[in-house]
Structure 1
């Protein structure tokens, strides 16, 4: 579904990505793990068209999207839920969700998408008329994910969905990610919580200073001594 081939990205004179290559197959959850500054968010922003790669190739559903504008990439079925949620605090929950459906014009389809989001996130239905800025951190993350699902993406990109959440909410968010995947949406996940992301992912890549250091099945990387000591800490023995 997604092929990233040797992309190089710069911020001014500073090189952020040094020829990263990986792929995401239809139906998978693929996770990118690594320390802060490894290039994970930059990778996602480059895929979704928010940053332009200096060189390399990005293909989505067989089409070259390396230089495609972000809004056109969304129309192709790739939605990006950014780090920090980036909800619109002065709009209601309902209005925020409608912003996620701006590529759609069929009112029946939009209504069906809204209903699906409310089934997935019942708390959003309860708070439909509230301003998004009054929601808790966990509810805002659910809103950001719901907004991403409103365009009915075939690939959902999630950047740090558990950031700042309590352990109970983290578990809930990861359960929802699994459910979304099981219902047919492919997921590319960037997550500081390497333990949780490797629990739900099919495959994983480890990034370090803009390069891919390791790759394999999530189970293999969980068992890898380097990954265990660097990213899993004392979570598993």
Structure 2
């Protein structure tokens, strides 16, 4: 479904991604793990069109999207749940969700998807008229996921969904990720909680200083002594 091939990405003179290649099969959960500053968020931003690679290519459903603008990439079926939630704080929960559907004009289907989000996240329904900036961190994460789902993505890019959340909420968020995937949405997950990410993923990549240094099935990487030592706490 998604093939990122030999991309080089720079921030000015800083070479952030170096010949990075990953593939994501339709219907799978693929996770990208690594330390802070390794290039995980840069990878997602490049796939979303927010950053432009200097070389290499990005193919989605056999279409080259390397130079496609971000809003058109969303229209093609790629949505991102950004690091830090990035909800619109001065807009209501409902308005945030409606923003997720801004490229759509199928009103009845939008209403059905909205009800679907409220079914999955009952707390959002209870707070639909509340300003998003007044929600708790966990509620904002649910809102960010709901907003991305309102675009009806084929693939969901998730950037650190467990960041800053209490352990019970982390478990809940990962159950939600598994449920979204089970209903047919492919997921590319960036996550510092490597244990949780590997426990739900089909395939995994380890990134260090902008380069993929390990790849394989999530189970194989979870059992790797190198991964255990560096990312799984021994």
TM-score normalised according to structure 2 size: 0.99
Q: Structure 1 residue runs of 4+, over 6 Å off?
A: none
The alignment partner of 2:196 has SS state of helix
Q: Which runs of 5+ in 2 are unaligned?
A: none
Counterparts of 1:219 and 1:71 in 2: how far apart (Å)? 35
The alignment partner of 2:231 has SS state of helix
The alignment partner of 2:109 has SS state of helix
Aligned length: 234
Counterparts of 2:70 and 2:109 in 1: how far apart (Å)? 22
2:87 corresponds to: 87
2:131 corresponds to: 131
2:219 corresponds to: 219
The alignment partner of 2:128 has SS state of coil
1:46 corresponds to: 46
Counterparts of 2:77 and 2:112 in 1: how far apart (Å)? 17
- Over the residues paired in the alignment, what is the CA RMSD in angstroms? 0.5
TM-score normalised according to structure 1 size: 0.98
Once the two structures are superposed, residues 24-75 of structure 1 have per-residue CA deviations (whole angstroms, 9 ceiling, x without a partner) of: 0000000000000110000000000000000000001110000000000000
Q: How does 1:1-237 map to 2 (within 5 A)?
A: 1-234=1-234
Counterparts of 2:202 and 2:121 in 1: how far apart (Å)? 24
Counterparts of 1:90 and 1:57 in 2: how far apart (Å)? 37
The alignment partner of 1:94 has SS state of helix
Counterparts of 2:191 and 2:31 in 1: how far apart (Å)? 7
Q: Which runs of 5+ in 1 are unaligned?
A: none
